[in-house]
Every structure is written in structure tokens, then in C-alpha cells.
Amino acid sequence: KQSLRHGRTAYHFQPAKNWMNDPNGPLYHKGMYHLFFQYNPHGPLFGTGKLSWGHSVSGDLVNWAFLGTALDPTSPFDAEGCWSGSTTTLADGRPAILYTGRDANDVQVQNVAFPKNPSDPLLREWHKPSCNPVVPQPADVTRNNFRDPTTAWLGRDGLWRFAVVAEVGGVGSTVVYRSADFVHWERNAAPLHASPDVPVWECPDLFPVAERGTEGLDTSVSAGPGVRHVLKLSKAADEDYYVVGRYDDETDTFAPVDDGDHDVRNWRRIDHGHLFGAKTFFDARKKRRVLWAWVDETDSRSDDVGKDWTGIQTFPRALWLDADGKQLVQWPVEEIETLRRERVALVGAEIGSGGLHEIAGVDALQADVEVVFDLPSLEDAEELDPKWLQDPQKLCVYAEKKDASSPGPGGVGPFGLVVMASGDMREQTTVFFRVFRHGGTYKVLMCADLTRSSTKEGVHKPVYAGFVDVDVEKDRSISLRTLIDHSVIESFGGGGRTCITARVYPEHVVAGGSSHLYLFNNGAHPVTVSKLEAWELGTASVNVEEDYRVGT
Ligand code: DQQ
């Protein structure tokens, strides 16, 4: 197997070199998947060049060919950078790009671009018409915060709409524009959503979800029986929030279900780890909605210069509405299975209190691990002190401590996985659960503890945490799926209801050593692993150097 330099990933999306941030305009078109992305062709840092849209294509969402840049900052309406945006498939099947330009005066405006040759399935060349900007910056926008147009949707009145974030008089707003021809746009007076508590949002996404089942819906599917909408907003630097609600296509406004909380910071998180700028698209090939999101580095700038690349994307995730009607379920797209190689399995193994069980036989640096923990008894679960509800990270640290000075191991958990562990265990990252009693029922905590992930100084080693909204009393089990890929660990708790993505930089990995993978249980009582399957994953062909040369 090829050795991957500097934590470069084996099956996550990343360019061969240079800086990448937000995913832009994901699209399924004429049998090909397209991903555009914020890209600095001049180096591995954000500020050293004006941003372009990088462009890659794939037949399977796993293997990607880089085609160079689709948009470059060469016009008066984007001279300071081609910033984030989306693609929309128009009624005649032609795709269109909507993106934010930083114009020659560094004013954020919205532009369109169309393929030069719409019959080219690779959509290699894009034309920016001279009527740009199609949406100049409105006078009431403050501090030049006006960006990141969504995929447009077609209303029942035959008009296109897109949403874009705007700081309007200091209020973080998501505003809607309408158009009959995709070129002349008019702003709707009422915002789709306004959030007085946070002035600047980024990367909005609005999409319909079916109330039942896992099938995705085209972005233009109207509000109506059996359909809800999800609004997602991103708050720098790594907080993506979403809420399920009702979109009213007559007034172009949105309200959380049951007139829920309008303060976005109380909405659910797409991911409790380090992820930003998530964007979904409707995959007409497999009738599913797929999410991409940027996973930035958490090492130092000088590390990034040394590597000559910065930033990866999550492995694409299918997503749908949970049966509870309130939360999304996210799951790696099934195409990941084409990478599965060696498999190890375990059925019905008991992990006693303090137990550590190695999962040997797969390369633990490129792995896909699915495990189900059975919880025969919840009797010993401790009462959750409500003060921790707002601060679950601290609860994770407390949950893990085993030394005499701490309150000791919990009743039910912590139990989970130890991943990317060095032979001497000095480097290790834990992903685990712990069950508490709370309000007459139970609450499941999920954590990823990076504090011992690397012996290297100067890299971020946080603890990430979230609660998992599952009925553990009824289910008596909890599942964990973890994707491991050299410098990224993506975990899906409770069947994908709570996700935690983490970047790690273990020195034993950079040095080319092998890593270990374990099951552990630090709870007072045994847990049973009713099922475990771990696959070694092959290396995908992702934007390899040869493609880079073809594309430039
Ligand atoms: N990044 C883009 C902006 C967006 C921000 C510039 C979020 O369009 O608001 O790269 O990462």
C-alpha cells in the first residue's frame, strides 16, 4: 500500500496540493458527479491568493479527477475572488452557477455563470455573462456581509428563488431573491429567516425532506403534505446548525417546526466536531440527498506550508429525516463499500469493566468500523447534573477519568473505540458513549477525545461532544460507525443522528508507523458487543497529480 505523506488521506476528497475550503455547487449531471470548491491555486494558505472555484468530476463519488479551475477572479465583478455558491439545473437541463464575487472594490455581489458547452458532460468551461453582477449589494447590507447563494428552487408560480445570507442592519439574515429568467432578480421584502443574536451567517442551505423514508427530494419539490424543509446556517469557524421546519412558498418565509426556537445557536448541529460550510445536493441517480462539508486542518500554518495542501471534505453523506420528524440522519454514501477490502468481525463479545480488546487484522489507518453495543442494564446509570447540558465536553473528560482523584468510572460507560493508537498507547483518540439518567429517562453522551491524539505540540487537541437523541431505554443498544483515514476520524452515533468529525495528527502516523484499534469499556459494568464489523478500505484515486497536469 502506498504511504501517504503528512497525513494525506486515502479516500477523502482533497486536491493534489494547495488550499481548499467550502464545497461549492455539488451536482449530478449527465452521469457524472461534479464538485466545485473554494480553491487557492497559488498555495496552501487562504490569504495568499484570490480564490477560484476548483473543479473535479467523479463517476462514483469515491474516485475523482481534477479538471483545473471553473471560475477565476478575472472579471470586474469578481476581481478580488470567486467566493462560495451553488449550482442549479435549469428547466432545459442546463446547469447554472450562482456565486459570490468580491468585485474590484471588494464589495460582495452575486453573479451567474453558465457552461460554454452544455453538451460537454464534464462542464469544463464556464462563461460569466457581462450582465453580472445579477444582484448588486443592497444599500441596507452592513459590513459587506452578503454572500453564499444557495441552489435555486422553482416555485409553483414558475419563478426561481435562491437564498443568500446578508447582514441587514446588524442582523444575521437569510434573504430570498426571485427571478423568471435566472438573470433579473428581485428581493423578497421579508427575510426567509432573521437572527438578531448573530450578525454574520455563512453558507446557507434550504432543502426539502420527506417526512417518511430515506429518499431525497429535488430542491424544487414544493412544501406540502409529507414534505418538510431544512434550513442550515454556518457560524464561523466550525459550527453548522440546522432546524426542520415549514417553508411557505407564497411568502418565501421559513419557521422551525412547532414554532420552535428562532435562535439558531439552539438548533441541532450537523456535526459536533470540526466541520464547516456544509452543502447538500439532490442526487437524481440514486434519489438521495447528499451532504458535503469542509473539514479544515487543525495543525499550524507552518505545517500546512510544509505539506503544501490544506483542507479536506467529509466523505459524502446521504441524509434524510428521522422518523421523529425533528432530526436528520447522516450516513456515508453506500459507494464507500467499493473500497472495502479485509474484514474482521466479532459477535457477542463481552467487554468487562476496564476492558480493552484489540481489533486486529485490518489496517487501522484506513478503516470503516461499525459496532453495536448492547446495554442489558441501565440501572447503574448516574443522574446527569443539568449544569453539564450546556457543556458536554467537560462531561466527556470527567467520564473518562479513572484515577483515584476523580469520581471514578461511570455506571453505564464510557465505552467505545480507541482509534489511531500508537504501539505504546501514548497517542490515542477515543470515541465513546456514556449513558446518564435525566428527567425520568436516559440521555446518551457521545464524545471524541483528542487530548492524547498526538504527542506533537502546536496542534489543536480538543474534546468534542454531543448528546445522541435515541431511545436507549427501548433499544437497549447504541451503535457507532467510525471512518478512519490517516488524519481524519468521522464518527456516526446512534445510526447517524449525532456526528463528530475530527482532524488528528499523530506522530506515529506521520512517521509511517502502524496504528492500532481497540474496543474499550471504562464503565463499572460489562457491555456486550452484539456486532462488530471492521473493514480495511482501499485507497481511492482522488485528484492525483496526473489529473492536475491534465487540468492546468
Ligand atoms: N468562505 C467563503 C465565503 C464563505 C466563507 C470564502 C465560509 O464565501 O462565506 O472562501 O468559509
Residue-wise pLDDT tens digits, 459-513:
999 999 999 999 999 999 999 999 999 999 999 999 999 999 999 999 999 888 8
Which amino acid does the sequence have at 548? Y
To test ligand 1's pocket by mutation, which of 19, 38, 50, 86 has the most ligand atoms within 8 angstroms of CB?
38
> pTM for this one?
0.96
Is residue 474 classed as helix, strand or coil in its secondary structure? helix
Is residue 327 classed as helix, strand or coil in its secondary structure? coil
Span from the CA of 39 to the centroid of ligand 1 (angstroms): 11
Q: Is the pLDDT of residue 546 over 80?
A: no
ipTM over 0.90: yes
pLDDT at position 281: 98
- pLDDT, average across residues 43-62: 96
Give the span between the Cα atoms of 52 and 107, in whole angstroms.
Answer: 17
pLDDT at position 204: 98
Span from the CA of 59 to the centroid of ligand 1 (angstroms): 27
Q: Is the pLDDT of residue 403 over 50?
A: no
pLDDT tens figures, 197-212: 899 999 999 999 999 9
Which residue matches cell numbers 448528546? 467
Any ligand 1 atom below 6 A from CB of 277:
yes
- How does 250-280 read in b/e, with b if 16+ C-beta sit within 10 Å? eebbbbbeeeeeeebeebbbbbbbbbbbbbb
pLDDT tens figures, 60-111: 999 999 999 999 999 999 999 999 999 999 999 999 999 999 999 999 999 9
Give the span between the Cα atoms of 207 and 222, in whole angstroms.
Answer: 10
- How does 428-452 read in b/e, with b if 16+ C-beta sit within 10 Å? bbbbbbbbbbbeeebbbbbbbbbeb
To test ligand 1's pocket by mutation, which of 21, 69, 150, 205 has the most ligand atoms within 8 angstroms of CB?
21
CA angle in degrees (0–180, nearest 5) for 108-111-116: 145
pLDDT at position 455: 97
> Which phi and psi angles does 397 have, rounded to 5°?
-65, -45
Give the span between the Cα atoms of 542 and 37, in whole angstroms.
Answer: 14
Any ligand 1 atom below 6 A from CB of 203:
yes
pLDDT at position 399: 67
Span from the CA of 490 to the centroid of ligand 1 (angstroms): 23
Known catalytic residues are: 22
Any ligand 1 atom below 6 A from CB of 99:
no
Which residue matches cell numbers 414534505? 227
Q: Which residues have C-beta within 8 Å of that of residue 143, sequence separation ≥ 6? A: 167, 199, 200
185 touches 179 (CB < 8 A): yes
Span from the CA of 484 to the centroid of ligand 1 (angstroms): 27
Span from the CA of 22 to the centroid of ligand 1 (angstroms): 7
pLDDT tens figures, 315-365: 999 999 999 999 999 999 999 999 999 999 999 999 998 999 999 999 999
Q: How far apart are the first and last CA of the chain?
A: 28
Any ligand 1 atom below 6 A from CB of 238:
no
pLDDT at position 552: 39
Banded model confidence at residue 390, pLDDT cuts 50, 70, 90: confident
75 touches 101 (CB < 8 A): yes
pLDDT at position 401: 62
Which of 274, 298, 329, 239 lies closest to 464 in space, CA to CA? 274
pLDDT at position 37: 98
- Percent composition of the chain: helix, strand, coil (DSSP 3-state, to 5): 10, 45, 45
Give the span between the Cα atoms of 10 and 510, in whole angstroms.
Answer: 14
Any ligand 1 atom below 6 A from CB of 21:
yes
Is residue 245 classed as helix, strand or coil in its secondary structure? strand
Q: Whose CA is nearest to atom 11 of ligand 1?
A: 22
pLDDT at position 203: 98
Any ligand 1 atom below 6 A from CB of 11:
no
Give the span between the Cα atoms of 95 and 57, in whole angstroms.
Answer: 15
Percentage of residues in the chain with pLDDT exceeding 90? 87
pLDDT at position 440: 92
Peptide bond connecting 133 to the previous residue in cis, omega within 30 degrees of 0 = yes
Q: Which residues have C-beta within 8 Å of that of residue 552, sequence separation ≥ 6? A: 68
Which amino acid does the sequence have at 339? L
> Residue 169 region, left (φ>0) first, then alpha (ψ -120 to 50), else beta?
left
Which amino acid does the sequence have at 458? G
What DSSP assignment string belongs to 159-190?
Answer: -EEEEEEEEETTEEEEEEEEESSSSS-EE-SS
Give the span between the Cα atoms of 285 and 223, in whole angstroms.
Answer: 23
Any ligand 1 atom below 6 A from CB of 268:
no
To test ligand 1's pocket by mutation, which of 78, 83, 165, 200 has the most ligand atoms within 8 angstroms of CB?
83
180 touches 160 (CB < 8 A): yes
Give the span between the Cα atoms of 458 and 306, in whole angstroms.
Answer: 14
pLDDT at position 549: 41
pLDDT at position 468: 98
- pLDDT, average across residues 190-194: 96
- pLDDT, average across residues 162-182: 97
pLDDT at position 404: 39
Which ligand 1 atom minimizes the distance to the CA of 165? Answer: 9
pLDDT tens figures, 227-260: 999 999 999 989 999 999 999 999 999 999 876 7
Give the span between the Cα atoms of 6 and 509, in whole angstroms.
Answer: 8
pLDDT at position 112: 99
Q: Whose CA is nearest to atom 5 of ligand 1?
A: 202
Which residue matches cell numbers 426542520? 244
537 touches 341 (CB < 8 A): yes
- pLDDT, average across residues 386-412: 72
Peptide bond connecting 237 to the previous residue in cis, omega within 30 degrees of 0 = yes
- Mean pLDDT, the chain, whole residue set: 94
What DSSP assignment string belongs to 445-468?
Answer: EEEEE-TTS-S-TTS---EEEEEE
H or E segment and range at residue 508: helix 507-510
Banded model confidence at residue 1, pLDDT cuts 50, 70, 90: very low
Give the span between the Cα atoms of 268 and 334, in whole angstroms.
Answer: 25
pLDDT at position 377: 86
Residue 316, CA distances (Å) to 5, 26, 42, 395, 427 in order: 23, 11, 26, 30, 28
256 touches 245 (CB < 8 A): yes
Q: Is the pLDDT of residue 415 over 70?
A: yes
Q: Is the pLDDT of residue 407 over 70?
A: no
> Which phi and psi angles does 260 have, rounded to 5°?
-70, -170
- The residues that bridge with 268 in the sheet, in sequence order, are 242
pLDDT tens figures, 102-125: 999 999 999 999 999 989 999 999
Q: Is the pLDDT of residue 7 over 90?
A: no
Q: Is the pLDDT of residue 402 over 60?
A: no
Which residue matches cell numbers 460537454? 120
